[in-house]
A and B are shown apart, each in its own frame.
Chain A
Amino acid sequence: MAAASRPLATPAPVAEPAVRRVRQALSRDDLLMRAGLGLLALWLALTVVLPLRALLEKAFEGPDGNFVGLANFETYLASPALSTSLTNSLLIASLSTVICVALAFGYAWALGRTCMPAKRLFEAIAAVPILAPSLLPAIALVYLFGNQGFARWALFGHSIYGPIGIVIGEVFWTFPHALIIVTTALSTADARLYEAAASLKASRARIFWTVTLPGARYGLVSASFVVFTLVITDFGVPKVIGGSFDVLAVDVYKQVVGQQNFRMGAVIGLVLLVPALLSFAVDRFARRRQSALLTSRAVPLEPKPDPLVDRIALLFCSLVAVAILVILGTAIFASFATFWPYDLRPSFKNYDFDNMDGGGWESYRNSLEMAGLTALFGTVIVFTGAWLVEKTRRFEAVRGIVQLTALLPLAIPGLVMGLGYIFFFVEPDNPFHFLYGSMAILVICTIAHFYSVAHLTAVTALKQLDPEFESVSASLKVPLWRTFLKVTVPVCLPAILAIALYFFVNAMTTVSAVVFLYSPRTQLASIAVLNMDDAGDIAPAAAMAVLIFATSATVRLLYGLATRRLLARTQAWRRR
């Protein structure tokens, strides 16, 4: 013990050893994770980057496959019909955005800032449109306001076929997306700001204009761009209810599916990519700003009761909720009506899909299979991939590339993605050409299409874990994959289930990407809706859309039950 008091700080050695940079040897864990990350990079290259490149090439290609520069774009701009579509698309998208974001803001504000009753119910109703394909509101609008619609008088002689119908349908379909973003933005408010404003005797209206709105401004910007992009790239609603009102997304569909003009399809696809990329950039920027607004010391806001305001909020939310339910209810009602509008007795006649065009019940089974496979493989790939990106030591370059590529699909409309897939996989010399027309390509494309949001969910969940789990594991000489399976996955199970649900619901309802990729053997329910509507079988189309909604809703319910069971079972170890 006495010897311990001699300082041992050794003076620099006489002969200073040559300074050498330390390079840590790679452990087996490191090698495995790098290999996994490499595979993921390859996967993302094949399923995201290369199809996109194929689309780009196609847009600059002449009839005999040579590079023609901007010639295709010149042809496109010269055609008056196509530029009309551009104007129409911009008009529709702007109108829908303004209406949808305004409604979403009011709804989110009522939910977050007032003491109105039944908030949980209103939240549930607002999520309804996410569970249905975008074709459902369009079909319901036909029944409501179409030539035989029972509320046709409400349009004062205007036709629902055209801009009015498209905007209503799009607002319905994009409402939940906007609501989520605006709700998040509003929930980041700091109570102290409001208390300060109130202590200065600012009126409620003044507080709203000087504190609430500025606080949510990035959320509003973000929501606006997201809605704008969703609308301008959606073709389900305008296809069904657009009448002769042409928009870009439908043009792509017509060029490719109708006229087999792939080059022109690619050109319009690229045009659609512009607002999407812009929206992506703005959204990223806005989100960063928004999260900076919320400091860790911010105090969450507790709304105070105010009878008048609460009643107005309730009225407003009720109107929106009723509108959603009426649209959904109309579709359900019409699907069960024997022969609209003459014989409204309920029957299953419209669900007799096997006796109609559009693929029959087989298409529904295909959809279930596709959604199941997408949920399974998508969740495994996305979660493992996010874990590899987050937890691989060093290897910064590859991790950075993978992270970027994983976010890329967020900026690519489904339509563009689907086109890229055709161009990439249709090539006979592509070694993956055999996938063309298979169920696998639908699954792969859907996983790629919805990769980003799932990836971000996984990353968020992983970031909430203690970053030293892996350090502890390594110091105990436990292989990392073991810790991944024994700790990371169980702890992240709620997020993993949420990802699976997200994949399943989107795979059930999506039309945009897969519409270019299905084959007669792989008809899907959502496409059957489109085709039956096209063939004039509107009631069966409504029936199929309702069936898709019912399936998504059931799975959503099962998910709710599963997470509740899970939380109950694991609450011993979960801090809540």
Chain B
Amino acid sequence: MVEALRRQERAAELSPAATGAVDAAPPHLRIRGLTKRFGKFTALDRIDLEVRRGEFVAFLGPSGCGKTTLLRAICGLDPPSEGTVEQDGCDVTALPVSARDFGIVFQSYALFPNLTIRANVGYGLAATGRPKAEIARRVDELLELVGLADQADKYPAQLSGGQQQRVALARALALRPGLLLLDEPLSALDARVRARLRGEIRDLQRRLGITTIMVTHDQEEALTMADRIVVMNRGRIEQVGTPDEVYARPATAFVADFIGKMNFLPGRLLAPDRVEVEGAELLFEPPLDFGPGALVTVCLRPEDVVVREVDRRPANRLTAEVGVMEFIGNHFQTTLHVPGTGLDISADLSINAVRDLGIRPGRTIPICLPPDRLRVFPEPPRPS
């Protein structure tokens, strides 16, 4: 996964569009100043967000951060306290649910237990008063789409969790909504089914080109499925960006901590691009605009620690003692200590590198912490 991201990221960096081409098309969804209060508690605090047509956006954040609340505010199931929601250029903030254009899949799926799969999928169509034959055709088409054509006459309880999930998806798509909302659609499934359905949902979304918002607390789900990720924390948006952006360039310490594994090191700024960490002096980029002496947090992903061809690196070269090495499937999770400093770093070393360089616990090896891989945040690390 990490490798794939890395590749994507390179592509994004090379692309001219990434450096600021203007997107002319108006967004499908525009949210402004959206606030939601439950009594005195503010569940969402002035959220601003735009979602483009056909885009797959994931709301990602820890449990209780307000993802579901935001989703329900967008579709009117629990209207916001303040703010506006525009869909297709129209202000829909105050419209009742039934007057809006969206399909939704709940975490529980909320399938009607006493109706067959066919009746569930055709539930919205049957109420429109269309001819029976037309409804039947559309239901068949939808069941085909989610690969359940042979299950049409069963009841929800007779299907597996993954199949139920797809029924819910077909039902949500029946009226050809312009917006698809998914609230933790995969969290009730076991790991293997989840991994398969990720791809299926993603493909389906691409094929239909339907604007989609998915709520999830699972970073892997968000990283692999979404075009863009909205990272949320305590009712606020921490960062909006592509998966590679939020992974490689987390905008805040929270995002850095929440997504992927990360070394959190306490530092003190020496110069805009130089920081002292536990007695070691490190260069980083891009520079930070803070006065020297400011307390900061320095972040580094374990897989970004370089051990090969260290002498070719211009900066941040250190010597480290190898501590514990743990074999985790396709890499070694290794602890490194830099003698003469208080610096302890967790590094993920490839099997290749370990073999080629003969890295073993107790040995001393040269390492490099690449300046462009260090993320420095202007806040001291939270005590954990």
Contact = CB atoms under 8 A, between A and B. Distances in A.
A9 B240 contact: yes
B98 A486 contact: no
Contacts of B241: 5, 7
Contacts of A10: 32, 48-50
Given A482-B127, A572-B155, A474 B98 contact: yes
Contact of B123 (A30, A478, A491, A574): A478
A30 B155 CA distance: 30
Interface stretch (B89-97, B211-219, B344-352): B89-97
A476 B127 contact: yes
Given A468-B108, A482-B127, A574-B157, A491 B50 contact: no
Given A24-B76, A468-B110, A4 B97 contact: no
Interface in A455-506: 466, 468-469, 471-479, 482, 486-487, 490-491
B94 A477 contact: no
A22 B81 contact: yes
Centre residue among A19, A21, A472 by max chain B CB count within 10 A: A472
B332 interface: no
A296 interface: no
B336 interface: no
A573 interface: yes
Contact of A17 (B33, B80, B102, B103): B33
A477 B126 CA distance: 11
Contacts of A27: 96-99
Nearest to B50: A8
Q: Which of B21, B113, B240, B241 has the most CB of A within 10 A?
A: B113
A554 interface: no
Contact of A5 (B77, B97, B172, B245): B245
B96 A25 contact: yes
A472 B17 contact: no
Interface in B51-88: 52, 55, 75-77, 79-84
A24 B83 contact: no
A23 interface: yes
A123 interface: no
A26 interface: yes
Contacts of A201: none
Contact of A9 (B21, B48, B114): B48
Given A479-B127, A491-B114, A3 B23 contact: yes
A9 B32 CA distance: 10
Name the residue among B11, B33, B50, B156 with the largest chain A CB count within 10 angstroms: B33
Interface string A347-373: 000000000000000000000000000
B175 A476 contact: yes
B237 interface: yes
Contacts of A8: 27, 49-50, 52, 228, 240
Contacts of B239: 7, 9
B104 A22 contact: no
A478 B172 CA distance: 13
A568 interface: no
A5 B33 CA distance: 23
B318 interface: no
B17 A478 contact: no
B140 interface: no
B330 interface: no
Interface size class on chain B is: 35 or more
A5 B156 contact: no
A22 B79 contact: yes
A473 B15 CA distance: 44
Nearest to B14: A2
Nearest to B79: A24
A476 B239 CA distance: 32
A4 B228 contact: yes
A21 B171 CA distance: 33
A258 interface: no
A275 to B, nearest CB: 37
B112 interface: yes
A561 B95 CA distance: 48
A6 interface: yes
B158 interface: yes
A25 B96 CA distance: 6
B115 interface: yes
B106 interface: yes
B368 interface: no
B127 A30 contact: no
A487 B123 CA distance: 11
A5 B237 CA distance: 17
Contacts of A20: 82
B24 to A, nearest CB: 10
A468 B103 CA distance: 13
Interface string B1-34: 0000000000110011110110100010000110
Nearest first, the 5 closest Cβ-Cβ pairs linking A and B are: A476-B124, A27-B96, A573-B155, A2-B15, A468-B110
Interface of A: 1-13, 16-17, 19-30, 466, 468-469, 471-479, 482, 486-487, 490-491, 570, 572-575
26 contacts: A2-B11, A2-B18, A3-B23, A5-B15, A5-B18, A6-B17, A9-B239, A13-B32, A17-B32, A19-B33, A22-B81, A27-B98, A29-B96, A466-B110, A468-B108, A472-B104, A475-B98, A475-B103, A476-B124, A476-B127, A477-B128, A478-B123, A479-B127, A570-B114, A573-B158, A574-B157
Given A17-B32, A26-B96, A468-B106, 14 more contacts: A6-B23, A7-B228, A8-B228, A12-B46, A22-B81, A25-B94, A27-B97, A27-B98, A466-B106, A472-B171, A476-B123, A476-B124, A487-B114, A573-B158
